[in-house]
Structure formats: structure tokens, C-alpha cells
Structure 1
Amino acid sequence: MSPLERALTDPPPRLLPGAAEALLRSLDAPPRLAAHLRAVHDVAAGVLEWLAARHPAVEVDAEAVLYGAATHDIGKVLHPGELSGPGSAHEPAGHRLLLAHGVPERLARFARTHGSWTREGTTFEDHLVSLADKVWKARRVPDLEQLVADRLAGRAPGWQVFMELDDLLTGLADGADARLAFQNAYPIAGGGRGA
């Protein structure tokens, strides 16, 4: 089994949405990228489950959040140096790549918004993908968390919502070591073809 195939199917993180998985295969994505996307997607799914249970009245495009988490870094296929080093060239490149593969803007936008959640016009869904992309490795960003809590504060006091969200994120962050180990078990190079 190729490293990419293993990164896409080995337990424990949840599997990616079928369309995202198929796209990663067609692009012969780096295995470490596939593992990273699964880790972030898994955290996003956990956040969505919590939202459905604790804040069922809040409208959220769950399909978009899950697809966005599963593809947010896809531009690193074109900028593989950003898999192990800093850089943001993958963001606009990923957005263009998704659009070129027929992905609708409502799903493709996360490739360009996940690193710029403070920009005007970002949505609650953008914030959730950005949040998952931070918390998967136990990085906490108070301003981003406040944006999410403010959106959820309706009938409940804002401090109460923030505390509930903090409890969720603390629990998710506790799994960061296992997610990092999962990601780092796969090579940066050497996708599926001929591996």
C-alpha cells in the first residue's frame, strides 16, 4: 500500500469526504498533507458535533466546513516547501486549484480564507475551519475563539458560551500529540503513484 493510501485510510482520524479524498488521490498529494487534512477534518467534525448538541439553533453549513477542513491546505501540493516551512503561497494557489477542478466557490474558498480569518467578509464557517486548523495541534487563538463564541451567544450569556467553547477546545487540544504523531508518521514526499 502506498504512503498516500495509508495516510488516507489508516485509523484513527475520520475519513475525508469522498470528493476530497478522490481529489487528493488524483493530485498524487504528499502523504503528510493527506494526514494533516484528516487531522484538521477530524477536529472540525468534533466541533460540528458539539455545535449540533449544544447550539442546535445556530445555522451552519456543515458540508462546507467539513470539505473546507479537508482541503484547506491543498495548495501545498503546488508549494510542497510549505509542508515543512512557513509560507502562504499555498492559500491562493489552493483556491485556484480547487476551482480548476470544478469545486464550487462555497467549498473552495476555505483554501484562501483559513489563514485570513480576520478579513472582512469571512463567515462563521470560515472561522470554524480556521479554528480547527489551530486546535488540531493545540494552538489556541483567543481572538478567533471570541469570534466563534460571539456568534453562538444568543440566549445564553456570552461568558457562559465562551466557557463552554473553551471546555470543548481544551478537550480537543488534549488529542494534539496523537494527531501530530499521526501526521508525522507519513513522509512529506512520495505520494501514491509508483511508491
Structure 2
Amino acid sequence: MFDMDVQFLFESMGQVVLVNDKEQKAIITNPQMSANEERYLHTMDCVTLGHIVTLDNEKFLVVSETVTKRHSKYKSKIRHCNYTIEFAGEVIEDFMRDADGNIVYDRLGDPITITIVGDPIFIPAIVENKTFSIAGSQLLVAENQIIVIAQDNKVNRGKFTVNNTLSLMDNNWKVRNQDRTKKGLLILTCERV
């Protein structure tokens, strides 16, 4: 009976959010005020650590582990992604081709090369310059360092490899450490270069 009441509550009071770009009904509540934009996300389906939630056209990152239901629903904490990090699209060297797909040659008989630049990649992330805490564990950083927290996935792991450089806040930052101890989150320590 209680499960049916909770289901009715979600149907009547819930709003549609995107969880990893898939629609899902959710109820959003506010935690105590803090320095960061945070919300509690209540759902009928499990939303896990590291999922990206789009709420009111803003990206949020799930920063609490949610494994079991509480009162017939899942509850997780989401935090606003205060930066979107842009990486240039993939660069591919290819040969110019005609409408039939045949390689086009110049007047000397050499194939004409072209450079194709793919679409840029945008990665929503939480960026901190002093500390970051998850479930009581606090990470401290030096004056010339930042912490970048992003969703742990194949693309992000490839873009944020150790010694890669990213541009953020009018500075270049080199990834010094990639921490994957929080399943679903990619926690990076970056140093200004």
C-alpha cells in the first residue's frame, strides 16, 4: 500500500529530469543552505554516484552513493556543475573525395589531403580550489592546485589522463592525479602550469 502511495506522489508531484540524458520522474528537495548549489533527488529508479542530472537546463553531478531504497524510493544528493570543460574535437587527416567517394588528385597526381575537425567535447564538472568533501572525506589542495570532479566514463578518463593539460579559468592546468576510488566519479588534482 505504501509503495502505491509513493508512486502516486511521484506521478502527481514529480517533475521530469534527465538522468544521463534519459527522462525520469523525480521529486527535488532542498538540503540546508550551503555555499554550493545542492539538491536532494528522490526517484523510483536508482540513480548512482557520478550520474549527470539535467534540472532546469543546468547540469548536476550525483555526489552521494545510493544503493538501497529509503521509504520505497531512492534518495541522492546532487551538486551543480559549476564549470563545463571544453576539449577540441578529434582531428582526422583524410583525402578529399568526390561525390562518388573517389579520391581527388591535384594537377601533379598527388591525393589532396584535408583536415577534418570533429565537434568539440563538453564535460560538465565541479571545480574547487581549496577543498572538496564527499561523505565526510575531505580533499585538501595546495594554493596553485584545483580539484576537478567529473563523471567517470571512458571519454572523460581519456581526456583527463595524467599529464594532460586543460584550459580553465583563464589558466592552463596539468592533471597530476586521477582518483577513481569513488565508483562513478573521476576526481582529479590539477596544477597550474
Higher radius of gyration, 1 or 2: 2
Q: Could you tell me the TM-score, scaled by structure 1's length? A: 0.26
Which structure shows the bigger proportion of residues in helix conformation?
A: 1
Q: Could you tell me the TM-score, scaled by structure 2's length? A: 0.26
Higher relative contact order (CA 8 A, sep 6+): 1
Which structure shows the bigger proportion of residues in strand conformation?
A: 2
